[in-house]
Chains A and B, each alone.
Chain A
Amino acid sequence: MNFFTLAAKNLLRRRGRTFLTVLGVAIAITVLFSLLSLNSGYEKELTKEVNSLGVHILAVPKGCPYEAASLVIHGGVIPKYLTASDLQNVSSIEGVELATPMLMHQFIRRDNKTGKDVPHVVFGIQIDDIKKLKPWWKVEGRYFTDNESNVMLVGRGLADKENLTVGATLPAGPFKDFKIIGILDRIGDQDDQFHFVPLAEAQRIFDKEGKVTTIAVKVKDVSKIPKVSEEMEKIPDIQVVTLTQIMGTIMNLAGSARSLLLTVIAIALIISAFGIINTLLMSVNERTREFGMMKAIGASGLDIGKMVLAETIFITFIGGIVGTGAAIVGSSLIESFVKGMLPYSPRGSLISLSPELIAFALVFSVVLGLICGIYPAFKSSRLTPMEAIRGGVE
C-alpha cells in the first residue's frame, strides 16, 4: 500500500460523488483538448489549402476580401468579373512570372441516386499555366488542351463520389455531354472536388466571353510579392489578395471564434475546479475524525496533506484520461460543431491529434489537481490531532 492506493481506495468510498467530479473534469478537459487539437489542425489545414493554390498573389474583382478569400479557396460565384485588359495589365508588371486567368462558376446538377440538386464548382482554366502553377497534378487519362471543346477534368474525390470514370460523359446540367478525359490523382485538398474545363469552354457555357473571376499570379522572386501586389493594386477594379493576406484574414476571423471558445473553456475549467475543491472540502470535513486517528497512529500533517492531494490528482488525472479519450472518440462530432461556429473552415479534418497534445492534456489535468488540491490539503494538514478527533473543523 502507498499513498496513491490509499487515495484511490478513499475515493471509492463515495463512488457517486467521485464519478460526478471526474465527469466535471472530463468535460472540461474534453473541451480544452478539442480546442487545442482544432487550433493546430485548423492552421495546418488552412496552410495546406492556401499553399495548394500554387500561386503567390490572386487578383479578384473589388469587393469584400473575406468573401474573395473564401471563394478563391472553396470556389463559388463571384458576381463581378475582370477582363482581358486586366490580365494584360497584370502580366506586364515587372516581377510577374506567370499570370493566368480563371473563371470560377457554380452550377447545379441533379444527383441521380438521391434525386437532389447538388451544387458543383467548375473552373475554367488555361491548362499549360495551371500545370506550371500546380506541378504536383497527375492525371489518369489525359489533360485537355486550351482549344478543345466538350472535355473536362475532374478531381478524384468528385469522381469517386459520383462514380465518374475516364471516358464517361456528364448526363445532365450545363455541361451535359462533356466528356471526362482525365481524373486528377487525389491531392487531399479542395481540387479533389472540382470540375476543370478549358477557360474558353467555361466562358461559353456561362455566357461570360472575355470575362474571368480570378487572375492567379506567380512571381519570379517571392521577396518581391509586396512590390508586385502594390503595383497590381494600382490597376482599377482589382482587389489584390496575397497568400499572407488570405491566411491572415481567415486566421483573424477564426481567432475571434477561438477567443469565444477559449472563454467557454476557461469558464468550464473554473467551474470544474470549484467543483473539485468543493468535493474535496466536503470529503475533508467528513473525515476529520479519521484524520485525527491517522495523526494518532503516526501520520504527520504533511502525510494527510499528501493523501488529500493524491486524491485530487487521481480525480483530475482520471478526468484527464476520460476527457482526452472522449475528445478523440467524439472528434468528428466536435469538429462539425466547431465548423458550424467558425466563419470559414478548411475542407480537411480540423482535428490534429498528436502525442504532445495528449501529454499536454494529461499534464494539465495533473496541474489542475495540484491547484485544486492545495487548499483542501493545506486545511487538512493544519488540523491538530485534537481538532480532528473531535471533528471540530469549521
Chain B
Amino acid sequence: MSGIIEARNLTKVYRRGREEIHALKNVDFHVDKGELVSIIGPSGSGKTALLNVLGCLDTPSSGSLLLNGIETNGKKESDLVKLRRDNIGFVFQQFYLIPTLTARENIELPLLFSRKNGNKSRIDDVLQMVGLSDRGDHLPGQLSGGEMQRVAIGRALINDPKIILADEPTGNLDSATSKMIFQLFQQLNRQGLTLIIVTHNIDLARQAQKIYTLRDGQIVGCEDMTCVLGRNDIKMQQEVVLS
C-alpha cells in the first residue's frame, strides 16, 4: 500500500561553523493514510528535524520524500508553500498564537494565507471540533494552556489538511490536559486524519498505532502498537531509549 508519507534515505546535515551535525542519517519513514504515528527519542535524537523535513519546513540534505504522492525534492519554496498549505497542519509545543487575535482569528489565520478568509461557518465547525465553541472571542491570554493548544490544533485543521504534524504538543501541558489533547488527536484520527506526533511522553506515544523511535538521527525502532499493545518488553525498551 502506498503511504501518504514515503521517505527514503533521508539525511539532514547542519553546519555550525566547521562542525557538521548529522541530524538525520539515512532515515526511512513510511506512514499510511489515516494512521496515528508517534515519534519518540531522547533530546537531540533528530525527532524535530525529521518532523520539519516531513512538513517541508526544511529540505533534506539527501534522500527522497513523497508527500501524498508528490516528490518534494527540488521543489521551489513557492511550491512547498502550496504543498504545506494544501496538505499539512502544524501544531507546535509553544502554540505560537498571536496574542492580539482572538481564538477565532487565530484559527482563521491560515485561511487568510490561502485566500479563503471569511469562511465563518468553517471556523465555527473547527471551534466546535476542538471544543471551543464558547471561547472563540477570547484572547489567548484569557485561555488555559490546554485551550491554547486546542486553538493551535484548530488552526492546523482549518485548511482541511491531510496530515497533522505535531511537535511536542503536550510539552507545556500538565498530564490531565495532555491526555485530553491526545484524546482530541485520537478523535481526529478516527475521522480519517493522518497524525504524526513527536513526543517525550511515552504513555501518550503508546496510544498511537505506530511508534518510531529515533536515536542519534537514526530510526532504531518501529513498532506497530496494534500488534504489541500490552507488551512490557517494548515499553521497557522505549523507556531505555528515552532515558
B contacts with A, residue count (CB < 8 A): 30
Q: Is the CB of A301 within 8 A of B77?
A: yes
Interface mask (A376-394 → B, CB under 8 Å = 1, otherwise 0): 0000000011100100000
Q: Given A1-B108, A386-B57, are A294 and B100 neighbors across the interface (CB < 8 Å)?
A: no
8 A Cβ contacts from B74-98 to A: 77-78, 81, 84-85, 88-90, 92, 94, 96, 98
Q: Is the CB of B112 within 8 A of A295?
A: no
A298: chain B residues at CB < 8 Å are: 81, 84-85, 110, 113-114, 159
Q: Is the CB of A12 within 8 A of B57?
A: no
- From the candidates B81, B101, B159, name the one contacting A295 in the complex (CB within 8 A): B81
8 A Cβ contacts from A335-388 to B: 384-386
Q: Is the CB of B90 within 8 A of A297?
A: yes
Q: Is the CB of B98 within 8 A of A385?
A: no
Q: Given A297-B156, A301-B77, are A2 and B112 neighbors across the interface (CB < 8 Å)?
A: yes
B94: chain A residues at CB < 8 Å are: 289
A contacts with B, residue count (CB < 8 A): 25
- From the candidates B58, B88, B100, B108, name the one contacting A12 in the complex (CB within 8 A): B100
Q: Is the CB of B101 within 8 A of A296?
A: no
Determine the distance from Cα of A134 to Cα of B94 in the docked complex, in whole angstroms: 81
Q: Please give the distance in Å from A11's CB to the nearest CB on chain B.
A: 9
Q: Please give the distance in Å from A9's CB to the nearest CB on chain B.
A: 4
Determine the distance from Cα of A142 to Cα of B198 in the docked complex, in whole angstroms: 101
A294: chain B residues at CB < 8 Å are: 109, 113
Determine the distance from Cα of A70 to Cα of B92 in the docked complex, in whole angstroms: 75
8 A Cβ contacts from A1-51 to B: 1-3, 6, 9-10, 12-13
8 A Cβ contacts from B83-137 to A: 84-85, 88-90, 92, 94, 96, 98-101, 105, 108-110, 112-114, 117
Q: Is the CB of A296 within 8 A of B84?
A: yes
- From the candidates B78, B89, B117, name the one contacting A300 in the complex (CB within 8 A): B78
Is residue A299 within 8 Å, beta carbon to beta carbon, of the partner chain?
yes
Q: How many A-B residue pairs have CB under 8 A?
A: 78
Interface mask (B138-157 → A, CB under 8 Å = 1, otherwise 0): 00000000000000000110
What is the chain B residue whose CB lies nearest that of A289? B96
8 A Cβ contacts from B41-83 to A: 52, 55, 57-58, 77-78, 81
Q: Please give the distance in Å from A205's CB to the nearest CB on chain B.
A: 76
Q: Please give the distance in Å from B115's CB to the nearest CB on chain A.
A: 10
A185: chain B residues at CB < 8 Å are: none
Is residue A146 within 8 Å, beta carbon to beta carbon, of the partner chain?
no
What is the chain B residue whose CB lies nearest that of A301? B77
Is residue A303 within 8 Å, beta carbon to beta carbon, of the partner chain?
yes
- From the candidates B55, B98, B105, name the one contacting A296 in the complex (CB within 8 A): B55
Is residue A192 within 8 Å, beta carbon to beta carbon, of the partner chain?
no
Q: Is the CB of B57 within 8 A of A389?
A: yes
Q: Given A1-B105, A297-B89, A386-B57, are A9 and B100 neighbors across the interface (CB < 8 Å)?
A: yes
Is residue A237 within 8 Å, beta carbon to beta carbon, of the partner chain?
no
A293: chain B residues at CB < 8 Å are: 90, 92, 96
Determine the distance from Cα of A293 to Cα of B93 in the docked complex, in whole angstroms: 11
Q: Please give the distance in Å from A303's CB to the nearest CB on chain B.
A: 5
Q: Is the CB of B113 within 8 A of A10?
A: no
A301: chain B residues at CB < 8 Å are: 77, 81
B55: chain A residues at CB < 8 Å are: 296
Q: Is the CB of B96 within 8 A of A290?
A: yes
A300: chain B residues at CB < 8 Å are: 77-78, 81, 113
B77: chain A residues at CB < 8 Å are: 300-301, 384
Q: Is the CB of B109 within 8 A of A297?
A: yes
4 nearest CB pairs, A to B: A298-B85, A293-B96, A385-B57, A9-B100
CB pairs A–B below 8 angstroms (15 shown): A2-B112, A3-B112, A9-B100, A293-B92, A294-B109, A295-B84, A297-B156, A298-B113, A298-B159, A301-B77, A384-B77, A385-B57, A386-B57, A386-B58, A389-B52
Q: Given A293-B90, A295-B57, 8 more contacts at CB 8 Å?
A: A6-B98, A9-B105, A290-B96, A295-B84, A296-B92, A298-B110, A301-B77, A303-B113
Which residues of A approach B to under 8 Å, CB–CB?
1-3, 6, 9-10, 12-13, 289-290, 292-301, 303, 384-386, 389
Which residues of B approach A to under 8 Å, CB–CB?
52, 55, 57-58, 77-78, 81, 84-85, 88-90, 92, 94, 96, 98-101, 105, 108-110, 112-114, 117, 155-156, 159
